[in-house]
Structure 1
Amino acid sequence: MWWFTQGLCFMPFFLVVWSSTSFILSYVIALFRRDVDLLFPYISDTAANPPESCIFGLMTFVSACAGMATIYSRFKFVDKLSENTKVVNPCLNKTGMVLGILACVGMCVVATFQETAVTAIHDAGALLFFSTGVLYILLQTVMSYQHYPHGSSVAVCRARLLVTVIASLAFFPTVVCAFFVKQTNLHRVKESKDYPFHVASAVCEWVVAFSFVCFFLTYIDDFKRFTLRVETELM
């Protein structure tokens, strides 16, 4: 049996591959069309103009839907583990699910409202995505250690902790440095005083985004162990 056919592990695998492809593809297209600079564009810069904005919007919507399905499946997995062990607080588990879904909603807002068209809404969606995304993986890491050894292995727990630390450390420069960036054009002026802030913010933004996405790779081993079934009852 192929590993990706076991349980539901195809869900986080698809989510990571699809989401990473959407980031990279929009960057490559924008670079080919010379819409952005080679180094240090924001993720949003690579999806500001068509056709890359259309491709990014469609692929990100699919990513958000896959993300919500994966987050809900993770919620049910932890809920099932806690039925007998009682090691994870149900409220903590539900909070994690809500935060994860909010992060997916933020992804949709970012993809739908381009930064060059509706800047305020785009920035609000980006802040929602990054803040709730980091909090989500933080809570999942905490819960992983709580239900060990009934759930994830110690290696998986440590991997989640590492990704969480990286994302958390990169989150603050992303937000703080962005406030000092005054340039609004996609081709940044290197001689500008705010260029170093742009570089720091852009690099950290890519780190946070890929940390959040790649965190779901750690779900593969867990998702091999269970399936979900939908039952229909006629009244």
Structure 2
Amino acid sequence: MFWFKQGLCFLPVFLVIWSSSTFIVSYIIALFRRDVDVIFPYISDTGATPPESCIFGLMTFISACAGIATIYARYKYVEKLSEQTAEVGQWLNEAALVFGQLSCLGMLVVATFQETTVPAVHDVGAVTFFVSGIVYTILQSVISYRAYPFGSTMGVCRARLGMAVLATVAFIPTAVCAAFVRQSILHRHKDDQDYPFHLASAVCEWIAAFSFICFFLTYIDDFKLFTLRVSTEYQQ
């Protein structure tokens, strides 16, 4: 049996590959059409102008759906895992589920409301995506350490913690520097007074986004160990 057919490990694999492709494809199209600059535009800049905005919206919607499924599957796995150890409380697992789903909701808002059309709503969605996503990775890291030696290995626990820390550290300058960016335009020039803030914010945004996405790679081994089934009950 191929490894990606074991259990539900295809879920995190698909999520990471598809989400990464979403950012990369929209960037390449926007770059080819000269809608953005080569050097680190904001992720949202690459999906602000048609036709890349249409592709970005569609692919992001699929990513959000895959994220919802993966996060819920992880929730059910931890719920089962908590039967073996009392260190993982149900409240902690439920909190991680809520923040994970909120992050997916933020992703949908970002895809639906382009920054050049409805910037206020777009920004709210982006903040929801990043903040909720980072909190989710932190909570899952805590769950992993509390569940050890059940579930993940110590190496996986450390990898999760490392990516959670990286995403957190990268998001802080993303938000701080973005507050000093005065121009909301797709093409920037080095002579712009706020260009250094724009560049720092954009670079850190890409790092934070890919840190959050790659966090789900650590689920592959766990997801090989279980499956989910839908139970149907017929009542007359």
Identify the TM-score tier after normalising by the shorter chain.
over 0.9
Q: Give the corresponding residue for 1:99.
A: 99
Number of residue pairs the alignment of both structures matches: 235
Tell me the CA shift for residue 193 of structure 1: 1.4
Match in the other structure for 2:155 = 155
- Tell me which stretches of 4 or more aligned residues in structure 1 moved more than 4 Å: none
**Secondary structure of residue in 1 paired with 2:84:** helix
How does 1:116-135 map onto structure 2 within 5 Å? 116-135=116-135
Q: Partner letter of residue 195 of structure 1?
A: Y
1:10-55 per-residue CA deviation (whole Å, 9 max, x = no partner) reads: 0000000000000000000000000000001000000000110000
Query: Any idea what the Cα deviations from partners look like across 1:66-110, whole Å, max 9, x if unmatched?
Result: 000000000000000102322201001000000000000000000
Which one-letter code corresponds to 1:72 in the other structure? Answer: Y
Cα deviation for residue 189 of structure 1 reads 2.1
Range with greater deviation from structure 2 (38-47 or 182-191): 182-191
> Is 1:184 equivalent to 2:173 in the alignment?
no
Secondary structure class of the residue paired with 1:124: helix
| In 2: Cα distance, 1:10 partner to 1:84 partner | 25
Q: Which runs of 5+ in 2 are unaligned?
A: none
Conserved 8 A contact 2:84-2:150: no
Q: 1 CA distance for matches of 2:184 and 2:106? A: 21
TM-score normalised according to structure 1 size? 0.99
TM-score (ref. length: structure 2): 0.99
C-alpha distance in 1 between matches for 2:174 and 2:128:
13
How many Å separate the matches in 2 of 1:208 and 1:96? 18
**Equivalent residue of 2:82, what SS?**
helix
What is the match of residue 114 of structure 1?
114
State the AA in 2 paired with 1:95.
Answer: A
Structure 2 letter corresponding to 1:60: T
Correspondence 1:48-127 to 2 at 5 A: 48-127=48-127
Shift of residue 162, structure 1, vs aligned partner: 1.0
Distance of 1:121 and 1:161 partners within structure 2: 31
Q: Tell me, what secondary structure is at the counterpart of 1:83?
A: coil
Query: Equivalent pairs: percent with the same residue?
Result: 67
Q: Distance in 1 between matches of 2:193 and 2:89?
A: 48
Output one character per residue of 1:183-233: Cα deviation in whole Å (capped at 9) or x when no partner. 111001211111100011000100111111110000000000000000100
In the aligned structure 1, how far is the partner of 2:168 from the partner of 2:124? 19
Amino acid in the other structure paired with 1:206: W
1:20 aligns to what? Answer: 20
Taking only aligned residues, the RMSD between alpha carbons, in angstroms, comes to 0.6
